[in-house]
């Protein structure tokens, strides 16, 4: 891609710290950008003097299982969904409108949490699992259930993959999204069984169609309580007959099938490789992936795997190899410059226009990422957003970099990206002009 080709030669010029040396400002920006959102100068300064292990450990020590900001007040109220047959057409429309408003408020809340959390790595991994265990409000039709799933993903973001897999299988949003809630003995729906193998654990080529059919029978019986939205198991609707999945036979239920998937070496490799693509680079090293996956498979602890990925030599040689997603670009820029956002919902809508609609990925495969983030339309929107941050005018409230921020950090070296700018900043430029040039530089689109 053109954006990356422009900068490929510059990557070779980056100073790469030795393992036992301080990571420096460039290393700190790389680490912060990949594991969170943005590179605030104060955080760069705090990490720069540390060696690699110390810097990674400090970052991971901030792990949280709960959000730092208060979610919308309706997230734990009773569900809005009485049986549809009891609703008039006008009532159904009012319900859809309420869910639309709540969905936008939920997106705004999560963006604000990403920008202000004391643990960006928690939110970055929550976003990863959201794109892995995909559900979407467009089908789930409940912002409350989408919030509950978000809370689950955050709780185990750096926790245990096996626990997360078992819990996501009976997560209410997932039960709706992949139709498990309507699956019963004699009428087993295969959607979840297929996706749990293809997209959540094994990857393509490691199962058969017969494995899917047998596994679908094992997942029958789980439904949703219409009032609370909680999962309930209906034994009479569960197929308790003999099944064989991936060579294991018995009266398997859903948990037994998930344990069978976790016992397959392909699962640990699949998750390790996907995390490599997210945190390290678009070109996984198979030998390293296999080595890390073997360790991961012993207990499926996510935090040690993330730590090991961040300490690979490949990570520290990877500046500029990742295209920022819309959320990484917008929230990262906001966090880097301490920008006050007057309307987080407007920022959520901008991210949707740029191709990343939180709580509504395009399909069960999630966002493809990488070069697909950039096209003629999205690149124009990205540049317009970045330009607006330093341009006065417009009576409409919008995010802007405050002048006092430039007074606090007047030197461009305080806010350069990890990758050198394709167009070097002129030494005689004012801080504001230098900042405008930097934000329009191709390097700002990468991390």
Helix and strand element counts for the chain (H, E): 22, 4
* Mean predicted confidence (pLDDT) in 405-427: 85
- Provide the pLDDT for residue 17: 45
Express the helix, strand and coil content of the chain in percent, nearest 5 each: 55, 5, 40
- What CA–CA distance (Å, rounded) separates 328 from 72? 23
**Helical H runs in 133-189?**
137-140, 143-155, 161-169, 172-177
Query: What angle, rounded to 10 degrees, do the helices at 24-35 and 302-310 form?
Result: 150
Question: Is residue 193's pLDDT more than 80?
Answer: yes
Would you kindly state where each structural domain of the chain is located, as residue ranges? 2-16+321-445
Please state, for a pLDDT cut of 90, what percent of the chain lies above it: 83
- pLDDT tens, position by position, 220-263: 999 999 878 899 999 999 999 999 999 999 999 999 999 999 99
Q: Rounded to whole angstroms, what are the CA distances from 49 to 121, 163, 311?
A: 20, 36, 16
- What CA–CA distance (Å, rounded) separates 146 from 139? 11
- Please tell me the total number of residues recorded for the chain in this structure: 447
Please state, for a pLDDT cut of 70, what percent of the chain lies above it: 94
- Lowest mean pLDDT: which of 24-33, 71-80, 155-164, 304-313? 71-80
- pLDDT tens, position by position, 114-153: 999 999 999 999 999 999 999 999 999 999 999 999 999 9
Q: Rounded to whole angstroms, what are the CA distances from 52 to 27, 55, 287, 309?
A: 9, 5, 22, 12
pTM for this entry: 0.94
- What CA–CA distance (Å, rounded) separates 341 from 331? 10
By the 8 A CB rule, do 117 and 69 touch?
A: yes
**What tokens appear for 173 in the block?**
């949003």
Question: Is residue 26's pLDDT more than 50?
Answer: yes
**What tokens appear for 175 in the block?**
């039960």
Query: What angle, rounded to 10 degrees, do the helices at 120-132 and 143-155 form?
Result: 120
Q: Taking the CA atoms of the chain, what radius of gyration do you get in angstroms?
A: 23
Question: Is residue 63's pLDDT more than 60?
Answer: yes
Residues 6+ apart with CB under 8 A from 430: none
DSSP letters spanning 410-435: -SGGGT--SSPPSSPPPTTS-HHHHH
């Amino acid at each position: 891609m053109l954006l990356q080709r422009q900068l490929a030669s510059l990557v070779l010029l980056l100073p790469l710290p030795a393992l036992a040396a301080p990571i420096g400002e460039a290393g700190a920006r790389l680490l912060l950008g990949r594991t969170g959102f943005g590179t605030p100068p104060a955080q760069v300064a705090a990490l720069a003097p540390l060696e690699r292990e110390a810097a990674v450990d400090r970052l991971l020590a901030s792990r949280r299982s709960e959000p730092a900001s208060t979610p919308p007040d309706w997230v734990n109220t009773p569900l809005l969904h009485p049986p549809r047959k009891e609703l008039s057409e006008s009532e159904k429309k009012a319900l859809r409108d309420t869910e639309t408003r709540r969905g936008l408020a939920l997106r705004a809340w999560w963006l604000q949490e990403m920008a202000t959390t004391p643990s960006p790595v928690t939110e970055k991994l929550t976003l990863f699992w959201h794109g892995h265990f995909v559900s979407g409000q467009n089908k789930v039709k409940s912002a409350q259930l989408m919030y509950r799933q978000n809370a689950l993903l955050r709780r185990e973001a750096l926790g245990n993959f096996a626990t997360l897999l078992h819990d996501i299988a009976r997560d209410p949003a997932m039960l709706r999204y992949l139709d498990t809630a309507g699956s019963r003995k004699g009428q087993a729906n295969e959607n979840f069984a297929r996706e749990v193998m293809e997209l959540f654990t094994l990857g393509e080529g490691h199962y058969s169609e017969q494995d899917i059919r047998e596994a679908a029978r094992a997942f029958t019986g789980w439904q949703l309580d219409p009032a609370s939205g909680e999962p309930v198991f209906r034994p009479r609707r569960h197929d308790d007959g003999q099944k064989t999945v991936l060579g294991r036979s018995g009266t398997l239920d859903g948990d037994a099938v998930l344990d069978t998937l976790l016992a397959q070496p392909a699962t640990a490799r699949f998750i390790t490789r996907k995390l490599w693509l997210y945190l390290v680079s678009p070109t996984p090293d198979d030998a390293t992936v296999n080595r890390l996956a073997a360790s991961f498979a012993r207990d499926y602890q996510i935090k040690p795997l993330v730590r090991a990925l961040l300490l690979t030599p490949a990570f520290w040689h990877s500046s500029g190899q990742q295209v920022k997603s819309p959320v990484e670009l917008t929230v990262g820029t906001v966090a880097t410059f301490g920008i006050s956002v007057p309307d987080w919902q407007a920022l959520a809508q901008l991210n949707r226009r740029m191709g990343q609609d939180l709580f509504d990925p395009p399909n069960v495969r999630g966002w493809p990422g990488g070069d697909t983030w950039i096209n003629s339309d999205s690149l124009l929107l990205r540049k317009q957003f970045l330009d607006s941050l330093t341009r006065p005018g417009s009576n409409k409230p919008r995010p802007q970099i405050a002048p006092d921020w430039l007074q606090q950090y007047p030197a461009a070296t305080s806010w350069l990206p990890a990758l050198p700018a394709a167009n070097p900043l002129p030494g005689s430029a004012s801080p504001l002009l230098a900042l405008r040039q930097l934000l329009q530089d191709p390097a700002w689109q990468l991390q």
